[in-house]
Chain A
Amino acid sequence: MFAILLTLTLCLGLVSAMAEEHEEVTLTFGSIWSSESEATRAPFLKTLEEFKEAYPWITVEVDWNEANAWKEKGDTLATQDAMPDVFYWNAGGILKEKVDMGQILPLNDYIDDDTMGRLMDGALASMTFDGQIYGLPYTNACSVMYCNKALFEANNVAIPETWDDVLAAVEAFKAAGVTPMIAGGSDRWPTNMLGDILLLRFAGDADLRKACFKEEGGTFLTDGMIAGAQALRDLVDAGAFPDDVAALTRDESEVPWHNGEVAMYVMGQWEAGNLGTEVPATTMYREIFKQHHYGVGSAMAMFIVAECLVFTVLLNWVFRERDARPGKELARL
């Protein structure tokens, strides 16, 4: 979360450098953490309060949005150069579209070595194009394969450590009449996430990046990519998912998992919060998480994706183009 503060601080740096007398400044912020159920909301609000205390002459006007609605709204606002000063945007390909449109300010001049030293290696990879850094990450979401330890023990199945182990576990649970895996296919991103991870693991980061960003003749038809796609196909052919998996929403897929009816569940690390609070009666989940956390247990190593989803908070190009925006308090910039 420090990255949001860092970004706002950078804004401040830009502002205060030009306006040492601390004239009143208003910044607009495009946020997607409107929901009370959003894990990022509370830390964001805390950071915002700290920022306001530290810089009382700066007013931050937050535009709260639902995540998918913000993508459409952001695209629409961008056509009229009406994006907020600082905003959330996904990294990777869709960020590059905005960069190519000239909507995003490169941050290289504003990020010092100290800041760079506080970022994880590779954290900026999905938001750096042609050596220019166009965003700062506030979190690094990871995909985790959670295992219901009780079901594994009851059916005498070993927690998988390799891909072959996963397929063997699927077969064993299928034979025992237990649903091996579940996903919210109708929401698309849960199954896309699983596919992405398999492609990443089978094809490697370099090839996937080339294919995603259409760099250096990158293609999704390499042997590694095809092997990753085949792995997903093998999982489906082995009957890992219920027949209606493509019709389930993520929320629907979560219920049988929380009820202890599903052996394995691929989800982001945020699911851990639910296991600790929303399912208090079954402490087994917490034990599983402790043992197989992506950063702790070996069983999850196969699914650890360092950069699967990197979200960014971006500085809008308007910081540089303030003069062209009458009526804004930052006219000096």
Chain B
Amino acid sequence: MKHSPITVKGVVKTVFLLIWTVACLFPLYWLFTFSLKTNNEIFGGNVVGLPNYWIWSNYVDAWGAGKMSLYLRNSIITTAATLFFTLLLSFMSSYGLLRMRWKGQKVTMTYLLLGLMIPMHAALLPLLGTMLKLGVLSTHWGLIIPYTAFNIPMAILIISGFIGSIPLDMEEAAFIDGSGIYRTAFTIILPMLVPAMVTAAIFVFLQVWNELLMASVFVSSDNVRTLTVGIQQMFGQYQTDWGPIGAALVIGTLPTLILYLCMSSQVQKSLIAGAVKG
């Protein structure tokens, strides 16, 4: 086996990449050690070192008294449902907006994309009134509906960019072979949109998983409360026990990490594909 010679350029590159790796991994290391310390260690003389005493009970506190198990379940339900509805509605909307010819097609597309310009804070009060009248406050629907609505414009933007790059010949061939509109959309076009759907799914997942404002205002019941608000609840008015909060943050971050580890190559592919085709 032939070894390439060690060069100055290679050493500099390796050192730079090592530093980069440490910089990227350090927050995870810090969060993990943070979750095993006491307040005095976290804010005192041992901010970045390994814990003097490994307080695993912080995880027990977060999972039990902190109700992280319940909040994790709620976050999974809310996020999964939002992903399902957002992707389904966005795909169908995008297909209808790009592939079908009808009056008001472009105006509707512009109208839907205008949703990107509406900040969540500005919509909070009228949305609260609407949710109240619908009677869905403190239910999973009270979060799933606004989350889906807020994420549809972005998902349409991503998916429609990809649909535009698919040749019309594909659908024409399908129609000639007797395929109907729904079958064409779901069995011919949808499989070709997997990179776009994954890209949209990741954006939606991160947004919904980390959302705090609506989750805080629209939910008053532990049975619906999501992780972000659950973690926020662990802050005391005057005194805060930070170790269990660190443990809760680790618990809350794990699904995101797992998702990225499982789908990182797909994410990169889809982003590159989008850059080239879009």
Chain A contact residues, CB within 8 Å of chain B: 28, 30, 32-39, 61, 63-69, 72-73, 76-77, 79-80, 82, 84, 249-252, 254-256, 258-259, 268, 270, 273-274, 278, 327
A66 and B233 in contact, given A35-B240, A80-B128 (Cβ under 8 angstroms): yes
Q: How many residues of B contact A (CB 8 A)?
A: 33
The chain A residue with its CB closest to the CB of B238 is: A270
Chain B contact residues, CB within 8 Å of chain A: 39-40, 42-44, 61, 65-66, 124-125, 128-129, 132, 135, 137, 216-217, 220-222, 229, 232-242, 244
The chain A residue with its CB closest to the CB of B42 is: A251
A34 and B234 in contact, given A80-B132, A82-B132 (Cβ under 8 angstroms): yes
Contacts of B129 in A (CB 8 A): 80
| Distance between B39 CB and nearest chain A CB, rounded to angstroms | 6
A32 and B237 in contact, given A77-B128, A82-B132 (Cβ under 8 angstroms): yes
Assess the B241–A82 pair: CB atoms within 8 A.
no
Assess the A274–B125 pair: CB atoms within 8 A.
no
With A64-B233, A72-B217, A80-B132 given, name 7 new contacts (CB 8 A). A28-B220, A37-B241, A76-B124, A79-B125, A255-B44, A258-B40, A259-B40
> Complex: how many Å from CA A211 to CA B98?
63
Contacts of A270 in B (CB 8 A): 238-239
> Complex: how many Å from CA A325 to CA B113?
37
The chain B residue with its CB closest to the CB of A267 is: B238
> Complex: how many Å from CA A250 to CA B258?
34
* One of A39, A63, A77 near B239 (C-beta < 8 A): A39
Assess the A37–B220 pair: CB atoms within 8 A.
no
Assess the B234–A35 pair: CB atoms within 8 A.
yes
| Distance between B276 CB and nearest chain A CB, rounded to angstroms | 44
* One of A35, A72, A84 near B235 (C-beta < 8 A): A35
> Complex: how many Å from CA A270 to CA B236?
12
The winner among B61, B65, B234 for most chain A CB atoms within 10 A is B234
Assess the A61–B221 pair: CB atoms within 8 A.
yes
